[in-house]
């Protein structure tokens, strides 16, 4: 009776494959869903150009400047500008 489990596997695999292919064929030939409120036609519709997004990078006139970070000697100064 060793042939029984082996045969059962083949039957189940074949059945699954046939069901899958059958469903695929059925759906491929079915009618497509139609919206109750179809969108208006946009042919000929003028689309206003969007304003460009503001750049996150500094503009050309703004430059990277050197700082004292990275080990430069920092003088001790009594005059400091630190914001208000």
Partner 1 sequence: MEYEEFRAMNTAIVLAAEGDPPALARGFAAAREHIAASEARFTRFSPESELSQLNRSAGGWFMASDELFALLWQARALNEATEGLFNPAVLEVLELAGYDRSLDTVLAPFDRLRPGRGRPGGPPPVGDFRAVEFDQARRAVRLPPGMRLDLGGIAKGWIAEQTARRLAAYSEACAVSAGGDLYAVGVPRRDGDAGGAWQIALADPRDDEQTLAVVRTGPGAVATSSQMKRRWRQDGHERHHLIDPRTGLPAQSEWLSVTAIAPEAAAAEVFAKALLIAGPAGAERIAGRCEGLAFIAVDREGLLWGSANAKGYLDHGIGTI
Number of amino acids touching partner 1 (CB under 8 A): 26
Query: Which range touches partner 1 (CB under 8 A), out of 7-15, 20-28, 39-47, 68-76?
Result: 68-76
Instruction: Please tell me the distance from the alpha carbon of residue 62 to that of residue 27, in angstroms, as a whole number.
Output: 61
> Which of 28, 34, 47, 74 contacts partner 1 by CB under 8 A?
74
- Shorter beta-carbon distance to partner 1: residue 31 or 61: 61
CB 74 within 8 A of CB 68: yes
3-state SS, residue 71: coil
CA distances from 39 to 33, 36, 42, 43 (A): 14, 10, 9, 12
For residues 15-54, which are near partner 1 according to CB under 8 A? Answer: 54
Q: Provide, rounded to whole angstroms, the least separation between the CB of residue 47 and partner 1.
A: 25
User: What end-to-end distance do the CA atoms of the chain give, in Å?
Assistant: 92
Instruction: Point out which residues bind partner 1 (CB under 8 A).
Output: 54-69, 74-75, 77-84
């Amino acid at each position: 009776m060793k042939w029984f489990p082996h045969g059962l596997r083949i039957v189940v695999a074949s059945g699954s494959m046939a069901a899958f292919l059958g469903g695929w064929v059925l759906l491929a030939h079915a009618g497509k869903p139609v919206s109750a409120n179809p969108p208006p036609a946009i042919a000929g519709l003028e689309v206003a150009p969007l304003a460009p997004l503001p750049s996150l990078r500094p503009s050309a006139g703004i430059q990277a400047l050197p700082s004292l970070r990275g080990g430069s000697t920092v003088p001790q100064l009594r005059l400091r500008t630190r914001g208000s």
